[in-house]
Amino acid sequence: MASMNTMPSLQEMQRAYLGKDASYDGIFFLGVRTTGIFCRPSCPARTPLPVNVHYFSSAREALFAGYRPCKRCRPLDTDGRPPEWVGRALALLKDSEDKIKDSELRRSGVDPSRVRRYFQKHYGMTFQAYCRARRMGEALNQLRHGASLDDIALGNGYESHSGFRDAFTRTFGRSPGTSRDLDRIVVSWLESPLGPIVTAANPRGICLLEFTDRRMLETQFNTLKKLFSCAIVPGENEYLIQLRQELNAYFAGELRQFSVPLVYPGSPFQVSVWNELLRIPYGETCSYEQLARRIGSASGQRAVGHANGTNRIAILIPCHRVVNKDGKLGGYGGGLWRKQYLLDLETGARKLL
């Protein structure tokens, strides 16, 4: 969960929502004590008095605090695109082969401190770290397609071979000369009705789908590094593009079965649990006890629950379909409110707009 120090100052947030500044949408949310609803900073509804406003760094925090989403600005609804000003910052990355300075961001009308907060919140890294990772990812692609080390080093802003080799080796764990066939995991993010989601894929399929506020997210990334022995860098590939399309259709109630390839190595027991999860039909649930019996481990309910909790590919490997024996929701790493949302979506109990 994001903490208060990842958000703008109180004065800045107050100025933003009083001015209905849409560039702060996604950076923070405001709960209105007098109505019990929470909104985007740009909400067109009547502006509340500052004394009645409570600030949150995520929709999750607002929901857990008991606030309901506003029906006018619909803070849980999103089109998956970052704010326009983030696009301006990323455009600098395309046009520059060197470190992007704060002065360049300001000339583009972008506040450097806001960029830092946004990239820490949505990508888990600084803007400069993101830029370096993107350049290294592009360097690896060029290397795979036969480009010379001279062209790659100079084309990615390095003045010498040694500087490029050092940076490449720190990122990928191998020198560029031995890396033409090196795998990598590319990471992207997307918005959903349940908040921001981090997705990752390698050349064989999707290997991670997690909500950005999940406490285990860092652990999951460390696990990926160990399992695949390769670098994790920002980027896109065909599987992430397919995933984005399928998730949009799923949340619209138009898709019941995902077809994007999944890659989920683990212990034999974990894999047996995850395989069985994939067999639970859309719109149905299964108890931990039933799941344990199905994999031939009737006394292993606790172990089954733990394997459920370590599932790295939420929604697609549907651990949300496992409930307690009495029908109650039980645990869910993404939060019980998300589990209820997904089950309501799949059973038709949630009205689609």
Query: How many CA atoms does the CB half-sphere of 48 hold within 13 Å?
Result: 21
Candidate list 43, 131, 230, 319, residue with the active-site label: 319
Separation CA 70–CA 212 (nearest Å): 22
Catalytic residue among 39, 70, 73, 286: 39
43 is catalytic: no
DSSP structure string for 126-146: -HHHHHHHHHHHHHHHHHHTT
230 is catalytic: no
What tokens appear for 293 in the block? 């019996």
Which run of H or E residues covers position 234? Answer: strand 231-234
Mode of pairing for the β-strands spanning 37-39 and 53-56: unpaired
DSSP 4-70: GGGSPPHHHHHHHHHTT-GGGBTTBEEEETTTTEEE-TT--SPPPPGGGEEEESSHHHHHHTTPEEP
Nearest to 152 by CA among 186, 175, 125: 175
How far is it, in rounded angstroms, from Cα 122 to Cα 162? 32
Report d(CA 268, CA 265) in Å as an integer: 9
* Active site residues per annotation: 39, 319
